[in-house]
Amino acid sequence: MRIILLGPPGGGKGTQGDFLVKRTGFPRISTGDLLRQAVQEGTALGREAEAAMKQGGLVRDEIVLDLVRERISRPDCRGGYVLDGYPRTLSQAKDVEALDPDRPEIVVAIDVSAEEIVRRLASRRSCPDCGAVFNLIVRKPAREGVCDACRGTLAGREDDRPEIVRERLRVYAEKTEPLLAYYAKKGTLHRVDGEKGMDATAAAIREILDAALGAGRTGARG
């Protein structure tokens, strides 16, 4: 099974991705995390990615594809995986199908309005050491400014500044939103309301997942 999480930046893909990992045992693959790691390592690829990310633009399809190809070839992805932040363009959607054509797919699109995104990202904090994500309003760390997981010092992400967030939302509307129609047509799209709170969203996703896995099992028997 390939589970694709679709939705605007700050829409809760990471949070719901973690929920899916617990529920399925599949690894979560976040292209944002893979890219930030490449940036930190200071590779040539990382330097090119950094320029695009800083401005709120997208990194070239070829670069992201290489990262995803390598990641899903690892043994822990054999049973399935959760893609968070990938695909983000129509050509990436075709890339992932070509990479792994026979895998059953479900797409979960999390719907959140632009106003809500701007509000959420302004209060988002993350741990530069382990990547854990917090929110000063809805997902507070136990100790202010300190990562619950590794005790690192929390910081706002540079690309969460309001002017960059606006650009990321613009890019989302232009490049990523067309994927909703693409997957609707393909028949793999499921939409959930991302503004009802973390638990309600997770419950909605669980239903979709159970229905899909149930159908998969029936299919395997028949």
Binding residues (CB under 6 A) for ligand ADP: these are: 9-10, 13, 30-32, 35, 52-53, 56-59, 64, 85-86, 88, 92, 159, 168
Nearer to ligand ADP, 2 or 13 (CB): 13
Nearer to ligand ADP, 10 or 194 (CB): 10
Alpha carbons within 13 angstroms on the beta-carbon side of residue 112 total 25
User: Is position 88 annotated as part of the catalytic site?
Assistant: yes
Amino acid letter at 201?
A: T
User: Is position 125 annotated as part of the catalytic site?
Assistant: no
123-160 burial, b if ≥16 CB within 10 A, otherwise e? bbbbbeeebbbbbeeeeebeeeeebbeeebebeebebb
The β-bridge relationship of strands 81-84 and 2-6 is parallel
User: Is position 13 annotated as part of the catalytic site?
Assistant: yes
Which residue's Cβ has the minimum distance to ligand ADP?
Answer: 32
Nearer to ligand ADP, 133 or 213 (CB): 133
Question: Is 166 exposed, middle or buried, given 0-12, 13-18 or 19+ CB atoms closer than 10 A?
Answer: middle
Shortest Cβ distance from residue 162 to ligand ADP (Å)?
14
**Of residues 23, 103, 157, 175, which has the active-site annotation?**
157
- Active site residues per annotation: 13, 88, 124, 157, 168
